[in-house]
Amino acid sequence: AFQLTNIARDIVDDAAIGRVYVPEQWLRSRGIPIDEIEDMRHRESLAVLAAELVETAEPYYDSAMQGLSALPLRSAWSVATARDVYRAIGRQVRAKGSHAWDSRVRTTSLQKVWFAARGAGVAIAARALPHSKRKQFLWNRGR
């Protein structure tokens, strides 16, 4: 989930330094040549692609909460906090649409403090919950 959000947020900046993390076929299907990702003419189409990446991340953000009770407290706190930080970034990318790349989307310091405090509470509360079964459609253990 975090990586999908990063890709959506940084797609234009990454392209500027020669890095493209979305399949060329996805770009082509939206009329965006791989060497024109930065071109302002493609911002509306790019916004649709970024919104799809953010939407794809959503079930993974939800699934991150399911494993918290299995983690040590500090790790659970970190995961719960990062989940909220990156989810907020993704939601901003989606909300800004074609303007998502006018300036870097980020969370404020105050938001981060709130997310850290909330993450601590969530991590502590997760200790009281039983481990839940993982949803198989989200991931499979490698063999």
pLDDT tens digits along 69-121: 889 999 999 999 999 999 999 999 999 999 999 999 999 999 999 999 999 99
Kindly report the pTM of this predicted structure.
Answer: 0.85
pLDDT band at 135 (very low <50, low <70, confident <90, very high): low
Nearest to 78 by CA among 30, 24, 127, 123: 123
Cα within 13 Å of Cα(122), Cβ side = 23
Fold of 2-126: Farnesyl Diphosphate Synthase (1.10.600)
* pLDDT at 133 > cutoff 80: no
pLDDT band at 129 (very low <50, low <70, confident <90, very high): confident
The whole-angstrom separation of Cα 127 and Cα 116 is: 17
In sequence order, which ranges of the chain are alpha helices (DSSP H)?
A: 2-16, 24-29, 43-66, 73-96, 109-126
